[in-house]
Structure 1
């Protein structure tokens, strides 16, 4: 091993190579549970490949009025849907290279599709299947053996119990021995020793017991389209105390139909980039750890833009005085 691998990094954590930042953490952080570290995440991770030829109705997560308009005025309304449904422009590999270690994966089965193929969705469906993306993640992990990812599977639109079983089987077949059981300690030193690189959160009451599937990861969603109101909501959540394990503070803004109609030439990316400076000031003030006001995963939109990822990674410096 190199000196970095045996002793860790001693400079500013903000300068760590983002594709291997976990393996370069200072040695004193190797025995901190992942739920007590600051971890960058991406909200609605797979929306960089939405199907622009899809003519299926927009999903139930969209405003009721937008769904009605889309039904009868699809050629006019659908361009607005795409502009506000894309939350990430980079592929999952590019996000992992950029330092993302939590992926928000929203699963769907296309209506009237007689195959067992599963897709991601946000308003509309993706062109890429779930299995394809999981294999891309596996390939990336093979070349980054000391990095650990948290994959949160949720929403599950249109999945039958048989499709749930198929998805779970696919997860196991793709990641095999990399899957970390929910009974295992998540210290990096322990995960490295055992070869575990994937923690799967499965947000559904599937049949049977699954020791290799973790329960839901709570997501603090502010449901605000203004940065100041989002920060206010997150601070309110912090005062109530953090969950005991993994959880996400989402700094993703939520557009509503009123906002979209009043900003017809803009997109979600315009909204995000204009408010990121304010939101990043809040992020810089956060601290990881086990305290009631500490944070864990911080997820946002367009995470490869700006400095969100290195700022979140650098928050772990605040733990060093307690671990050294």
Structure 2
């Protein structure tokens, strides 16, 4: 985990927080974590509406270039995100319809890298930092049948092996517990195909309510409301501090793209709200953002997690 005193990734972590339930820690998450690279040459993904596929079919390369500007929500690779303090990854996956075999890719409008490549990159970082812990949330699956799911679940077990944390009572998951068991990866799998696997946490253990708005103030109101309701579920909780473009948003900001048209101008308002939050039972647990490199999320989260330390430890 991060050294909450210095802000650096460290082997020792922070002993003062090791006994705190992970649901009470403030953890940084990247929205559509894998979308730092998308393939403009591949077909439009099965997660897109037929109208989008038709438009890109007509305009081809121009349509793909526009899609890329609105599909990419991150600039940093998995390794760079890990180095920047990201510990929760928001993952959408898909097969490529018509492609032989069972290969799985990350996807957000356009196809990204192969899932296996991303998992190996994360595992290499974890092997080099035995006390680091990550959350992998596979929350959307497209064009995947039973064989695809079996292939992906087997892949997760083969890549991470004994690093995978078995499903337990949420209240038992502290850094101390994870370190003792040598667990480093919690996988949340939002599909019935994983119900029988003891290493795949069901999606209902990590709700992530979605505001679905382009208005920063409506987003903040939504985040406040859902935070007030989180305690009754007794789960991990994701606060999605993201704005979602409408069709007219894309049309108005066609050339600028998601980052310049929507994210950059609203991020100061969102970050002001983030800095006012507290970790803990009724506070923010996991917070997700587009383009995590735009602001110093690590410093913000370090300062907020310090609120959980004994007063003598933060003087």
TM-score, shorter chain, exceeding 0.5: yes
Cα RMSD of the aligned pairs, angstroms, is 2.2
Structure 2: gaps spanning 5 or more residues: none
Q: Is the 8 A contact 1:47 1:88 kept in 2?
A: yes
SS class of match (1:66): helix
1:211 correspondence with 2:198: yes
Structure 1 pair 207–273 and aligned structure 2 pair: CA distance change class (3 A): closer
CA–CA separation in structure 1 for the residues paired with 2:254 and 2:116: 36
Residue aligning to 1:269: 259
CA–CA separation in structure 2 for the residues paired with 1:207 and 1:287: 34
Structure 1 pair 235–169 and aligned structure 2 pair: CA distance change class (3 A): same
Structure 1 pair 233–208 and aligned structure 2 pair: CA distance change class (3 A): closer
Length-normalised TM-score, structure 1: 0.88
Q: Is the 8 A contact 2:92 2:138 kept in 1?
A: yes
SS class of match (1:121): strand
1:83 correspondence with 2:88: no
Q: Is the 8 A contact 1:66 1:257 kept in 2?
A: no
* Residue from 89, 95, 100 that aligns with 2:81: 95
Within 5 A, what are the aligned runs for 1:116-155?
116-126=102-112, 128-155=113-140
Length-normalised TM-score, structure 2: 0.91
Structure 1 pair 189–208 and aligned structure 2 pair: CA distance change class (3 A): closer
Q: Shift of the alpha carbon at 1:312?
A: 2.1
SS class of match (1:151): strand
Structure 1 pair 256–299 and aligned structure 2 pair: CA distance change class (3 A): same
CA–CA separation in structure 2 for the residues paired with 1:58 and 1:114: 16
Within 5 A, what are the aligned runs for 1:211-290?
211-216=198-203, 217-242=206-231, 243-270=233-260, 271-290=262-281
Q: Is the 8 A contact 1:14 1:311 kept in 2?
A: no
Q: Shift of the alpha carbon at 1:138?
A: 0.7
SS class of match (1:50): coil
* Residue from 163, 171, 177 that aligns with 1:178: 163
Structure 1: gaps spanning 5 or more residues: none
Q: Shift of the alpha carbon at 1:265?
A: 2.5
Select between 93-102 and 232-241 the one with higher mean Cα deviation: 232-241
Structure 1 pair 67–230 and aligned structure 2 pair: CA distance change class (3 A): farther
Residue aligning to 2:174: 187
* Residue from 11, 19, 31 that aligns with 1:43: 31
Structure 1 pair 248–200 and aligned structure 2 pair: CA distance change class (3 A): same
* Residue from 302, 310, 315 that aligns with 2:291: 302
